[in-house]
Structure 1
């Protein structure tokens, strides 16, 4: 499998999502975080977009978000139980396994996801993580976990012009949880968990910078 090509394609799609203003429907807003969605063109599910301001510089926000083994993400993100580096493809592209705990009062059982992750930086100072599902010989399905599939997803840490101590965080989730889940559970899970994601990130950044 051409992991580099898959990573580049995911980054292109994420950039496209970040620029598209129309077609989104608001599904939740809380504490300055707006969550919208639209039908996914990748699978029979939804593409969710979160948008909020974090009171910290992009490099500090990125330190908490950085997808790396032993990083801060597993300490504050309630939806990430473990994060494992499977293979380093290049300086900015890796293959990773993410384990998520049970959720929605255990209606959603533990999942694992195998993704290629591409860290890309833009000239305006924006730092992004771009990911999509891949197959890897070292990561067959494992007992105790439902194998889920992330379609192009990730985060954009965008500098706020004239506000060096603020970051606009755009996040995109496009996840096929697999298994036999009621659609109502899936539809309510993502907006709620994304707002929790922002709330927990804000607390983690504040601890990092205090």
Structure 2
């Protein structure tokens, strides 16, 4: 059986009521080691779920108002609830990037949308820039009908100045990779106030997808989660 595009459109419509979008998908090849589907048999296909810009934020805030403020990882918890409900309605198994053992979400995203990493490690999207995310995926035991893949422009190739590598006061990102502990100490320290309130300076320096840039309160939320504040 092949899941038709009309069903995929229905899934997209259900997700859109929470600010989520479908982020592409693919059918697993016979050489892939696929995860299990809803019945426990091997999954045949995957649809990625995520966001562009901060569209889910108001939906998340309304949910959070009805929850105990002590709920752990509230954004992950809410995302799991939403994606889980949609999965249940359409006979899929929901999975999350934070599930353990970890699933290869980054590899799935590259395969589904043809994106490549920016110097910051975040996948660069030709429309959304760095302002997008993957929140989960739906696994099916049937193949899905997908449009023909298209070539994707990698905007970083045309970016000569690379301001994303020049704006961090502690040079957390470099050709050597991400200096996690250096970044963490800076964000937690007195001089890290701009990062805590307005987000990563390197990420904000990127000239692409600025119409989708997360508002300061959203960036502050993510930075607090990163820094454990």
TM range (shorter): under 0.3
Tell which structure's C-alpha radius of gyration is larger. Answer: 2
TM-score (norm. length: structure 1): 0.24
Q: TM-score, structure 2 length as denominator?
A: 0.23
Normalized per residue, the structure richer in strand is 1
Could you say which structure has the higher helix fraction?
2
